[in-house]
Structure 1
Amino acid sequence: MSDLSATISPAVRLKGVSKTFGPIQALKPVNLDIAAGTIHALVGQNGAGKSTTLGILAGRISATTGDVEIGGARVDLGDPRRARAAGVVAIYQELTIVPALSAVANVFLGQPLSRGYLLSEGAMQSRFAELAGRLGVSIPTDAEARSLSVADQQTLEILRAIQANARIILFDEPTTALAQPEREALFKVMRDLRAEGHTLIYVSHNLDEVLGISDAITVFRNGSLIETRPTQAWTKAQLVTAMLGEEMGDIYHRRPASRLRDGEPAISVRDIALPGAIGEIGFSVRAGEILGVGGLVGSGRSSLLRALAGLEHRSSGQIEIAGREVAWPRTPRAARALGIALVPEDRKHQGLVLGMTAADNVTLPKLRAIARSGLIDNQLAAEVAADATRAFGFDPKRLFAPVGTLSGGNQQKVLLARWAFDRPKVLLVDEPTRGIDVGAKAEILDALRAFAEEGLAVIMVSSELEEICALADRVIVMSEGRQVDHIDASRAELSVHRILNSAFGVERHHHV
């Protein structure tokens, strides 16, 4: 058992806690103490067991064996309501804000302040101001939640947790959708919560953030707790080695230049426009090339990919596929008919059918290819899905699990395997490694390299600029919906510094 401090009784103690889903043991018996008034990070690859541990503490998942103690007392966290009663509240990537309600109403959702039988709007307004003031945040009380930034919506969830008297707050990948200034603001709130005596348990794949914010770090691997140390006793390299069980090479190794650079463009676009979002964009990508799209959050990168994928019916432009001018795609069906496929940023809600198996998700675009006499050949479908996922290091035992139960890394592998089976001409990928651990990230980057080597034209948006610099043959940079730079990697022009300077307007270059 790991005990971070002999003098501070643990806020949370796990004793032999395990979880089995059918034949799969997601979590082997865990013994862990988490000190009161600390920020304790849980890290590991997707499927390592950290999210299962968080789910057990949140009451979303029932442990198969073992006991949980909160403040020295054994508790039954059989559902989220019981967890809240024990002082444990979770804040997930998928926020539970009600968009149509005001900021105040969201904070007091399910726990309104009242006088007699009447709600006390004044008391709730006053309490909201007090809570916000304690954390140094400013959110208009009457603003509809849908009008707020993701960061402010997340803050409402934190205020709701404090109002519910949560002493233990669980954070699941809280910075995934946040820009850097918003991340820094969240970290300030987390430090303030710690200073007030709250215990924070924090799951993240961003090791730099973990090392910067936490007091202690626990590493999980293959369902087992590997080691817990005070944060100052870890280095990033040691964390990666503990997560993988081996030393990790450089996942951002530079991809060799495309061998097909002199061929005809697989796709050429000009004058792309989407009212209120993007305009004045044009580029070409040859088969075998990777075009990176750099820029800040909100610069229009995702809107560009959605327009190319036929998801923005108001978009317009001129497009050529393999040298032939075709009609601009205004529906996903039209884009697919042109050989354009999208791996979206929001894989859970826009890319996958969560209730279907991984195998069914892989074969979904080409059901006719696995049909015999009008009926799906399940054996053929299984063989096709196994072949398509093998190159991604996907565990074949998980092929017939509902894809919604898989880790983020495995879900992304399923999406990429779908297009390995269907073979589009142009593959659009939006934030391909967001929320994915370092091991799965390396496999996904290698898969994108392989797609290009096999002759696909790949257009990639990523906020991880090192990824773009490692993979792309050329990069366009966007700012405020416009293309402001075009960088050719073969001329040694490509660097994170160059992309950021262009995105922030420090340097402006004529694009071609």
Structure 2
Amino acid sequence: MPEGMASQTMGRPASPGGPLAIDARSVEKRFGGTLALTGVSVCAEVGSINALVGENGAGKSTFLGVIAGRVVPTTGSVSIFGNPLAFGNPRLSRQQGIAAIYQELTIVPALSAVANVFLGQTVSRAGLLSERGMCDRFLELSAQLKVSIPPGIEARHLSVADQQMLEIMRGIQSRARLILFDEPTTALAPPERESLFAIMRELRRGGTTMVIVSHNLDEVLDIADSVTVFRDGEVAHAAPRSEWTKRDLVRAMIGHDLVEPSSRTPFAGKAGAAPLLSATGVSLPGALEGIDIEVRPGEIVGIGGLVGSGRSSLLRALSGFEPKSTGTLAIDGEAVPWPKTPRMAILAGIALVPEDRKTQGLVLGMSAMANITMPNFGGVASLGVISDRRMASSARGVARDFGFDENRVGTTVRNLSGGNQQKVLLGRWRYSLPKVLLVDEPTRGIDVGAKEEILVTLRRLAAQGLGIIVVSSELEEVVQMGDRVLVLSEGRAVARLDAAHAPIKVKDILEAAFKVAKHDHDRDGLSRG
């Protein structure tokens, strides 16, 4: 831990040497009876990258909302480039040179990619909208970020990762003096992250100030000039990047050392067991091409690859969310119809935990216990009427298994942290007992402590006999969890790695994915030449 942390636990960090882009003093925010921020003082130099870290509920996103002009503090003051911040008015904040890129997507599905990037703005000549100017700028940003998104495609047809890139492009193209990033890389693969960081470093050289909220501590230590740790709504410690290690950050965030995942022995399924799920020739026009995959009882199969490789499409096809997909499927050795709807998949024993839990998985306005028991309300009904008592009893049993406070099963889901929301979603399918669980980005937007709990929970589910297939952009997680790993590139299976034969490494996944992707790129270039 940085020297002096024991004595300098709260309050304003040491003033930087240059002019200030952000000067926040004694900021407090109450939501009803809940104190979200207490005496928060943070400053940031012009032309610097500043990271805010902490567990879910620590206050970092609330503070980011204050800086963005979305959240009005109860007390305190904030100056931006020497001028008082216009609290509660995002439009005036933008006029002050502030752009915000949020974790929760604000994409308009029916609009084109280019229209989403320039939403509320224009590239004009004599006050007239210039579609060509917007398209040219869009293609310029795409090249900088190394992404291939057609400008005219409707955003509804893009993956979550590509939608996240649109959010990033929107923030960057505004040429703001202060850019706020809230978990910008959670849906991005390593190459896209590196492209984003390269642009951030270029913006820093040009004098742009950036604040980034992230749960990825390796990224924080890679990109930030300074790090501020939030805990329980207060600044626990702030220091230059050079004074931090990953271990120090974790200790400052949670108040104690974290047990390293490498020290845990993964569960191994029974050798030679017959597959729970066996799918062959899985195809989806424009996304998947003849993929074979199987998973055995007690086994976790990781899906590795770059953004756009077809990882999420494969899970959606197996779970009935892609009606145009084709393939053959066997469950417990018996052929079953290829699922064309989610209901067909659930009846076959396949359940999906989707990538975007808030819009695709949870009913945010309902309680945790209702969300957990939702797939089987009949099991908590009496004479056709749902019994709150039975629902609560069933949900408490699941909550205990998942490390979720059973006394909070009546809490509305939108009021839970990201980690607890994910536990509720996983608990739903544990309650309904599928045979195969498909999990897309299980730790997206979850703090470091809850992340380890989720990974342990998945291993516990596998130990109970489920077959689990996991997609994660955190390749370290794929390696950590996967008994076997299937690597995809351009919608095809390009490598199969088995931890029983040799330890799986991140570089093995990247080498397999890059080799094929580079080959396809070179071949396409030759064909056009």
| Range of TM-score over shorter length | 0.7 to 0.9
User: 1:196 maps to what in 2?
Assistant: 206
What's the CA shift string for 1:129-149, capped at 9, x where partnerless? Answer: 69969x978999994374795
TM-score, normalised on structure 1? Answer: 0.87
Residue identity in the other structure for 2:120: L
User: 1:229 maps to what in 2?
Assistant: 239
CA apart distance, 1:490: 1.7
Residue identity in the other structure for 2:345: A
The within-5 A match list for 1:344-363 is: 344-363=354-373
CA apart distance, 1:409: 2.1
Whether 1:119 aligns to 2:128 is yes
What's the CA shift string for 1:348-396, capped at 9, x where partnerless? Answer: 2211122323332222111112222322222332333233223333345
Whether 1:429 aligns to 2:409 is no
User: 2:520 maps to what in 1?
Assistant: none
Residue identity in the other structure for 1:75: L
Aligned in 2, Cα 1:4/1:35: closer, same or farther, shift over 3 Å? Answer: farther
User: 1:57 maps to what in 2?
Assistant: 67
CA apart distance, 1:196: 3.0
User: 1:418 maps to what in 2?
Assistant: 428
User: 1:243 maps to what in 2?
Assistant: 253
Whether 1:17 aligns to 2:27 is yes
Report the Cα distance in structure 1 between the residues aligned to 2:383 and 2:259, rounded to whole angstroms.
Answer: 49
CA apart distance, 1:445: 0.5
TM-score, normalised on structure 2? Answer: 0.85
User: 2:18 maps to what in 1?
Assistant: 8
User: 2:333 maps to what in 1?
Assistant: 323
User: 1:144 maps to what in 2?
Assistant: 152
Whether 1:158 aligns to 2:166 is no
Helix, strand or coil for the counterpart of 2:276? strand
User: 1:454 maps to what in 2?
Assistant: 464
Whether the 8 Å contact between 2:49 and 2:226 is mirrored in structure 1 is: yes
CA apart distance, 1:258: 2.4
CA apart distance, 1:73: 4.2
User: 1:274 maps to what in 2?
Assistant: 284
Helix, strand or coil for the counterpart of 1:501? helix
Helix, strand or coil for the counterpart of 1:90? strand
1:109 maps to which of 97, 114, 120: 120
User: 2:346 maps to what in 1?
Assistant: 336
Residue identity in the other structure for 2:174: A
What's the CA shift string for 1:490-511, capped at 9, x where partnerless? Answer: 222533333333323389xxxx
| Percent of paired sites with the same residue | 48
Aligned in 2, Cα 1:34/1:473: closer, same or farther, shift over 3 Å? Answer: same
CA apart distance, 1:6: 4.9
Aligned in 2, Cα 1:254/1:186: closer, same or farther, shift over 3 Å? Answer: same
Whether 1:490 aligns to 2:500 is yes
Report the Cα distance in structure 2 between the residues aligned to 1:229 and 1:15, rounded to whole angstroms.
Answer: 17
2:306 maps to which of 278, 293, 296: 296
Aligned in 2, Cα 1:141/1:272: closer, same or farther, shift over 3 Å? Answer: closer
Report the Cα distance in structure 2 between the residues aligned to 1:506 and 1:157, rounded to whole angstroms.
Answer: 31
Report the Cα distance in structure 1 between the residues aligned to 2:487 and 2:22, rounded to whole angstroms.
Answer: 46
Aligned in 2, Cα 1:284/1:373: closer, same or farther, shift over 3 Å? Answer: same
Residue identity in the other structure for 2:430: A
CA apart distance, 1:106: 4.5
Residue identity in the other structure for 1:392: F
Aligned in 2, Cα 1:404/1:105: closer, same or farther, shift over 3 Å? Answer: closer
Aligned in 2, Cα 1:359/1:282: closer, same or farther, shift over 3 Å? Answer: same
Whether 1:35 aligns to 2:45 is yes
Whether the 8 Å contact between 1:290 and 1:452 is mirrored in structure 2 is: yes
What's the CA shift string for 1:407-442, capped at 9, x where partnerless? Answer: 332221221111122211111111211222211110
CA apart distance, 1:65: 3.2
Report the Cα distance in structure 1 between the residues aligned to 2:58 and 2:426, rounded to whole angstroms.
Answer: 21
User: 1:510 maps to what in 2?
Assistant: none
What's the CA shift string for 1:278-330, capped at 9, x where partnerless? Answer: 23322332221212222222222211111110111122222222222211111
Report the Cα distance in structure 2 between the residues aligned to 1:27 and 1:398, rounded to whole angstroms.
Answer: 23
Deviates more, 1:355-364 or 1:390-399: 390-399
Structure 2 segments unaligned to the other structure (5+ residues)? 1-10, 518-529
Report the Cα distance in structure 2 between the residues aligned to 1:429 and 1:160, rounded to whole angstroms.
Answer: 34
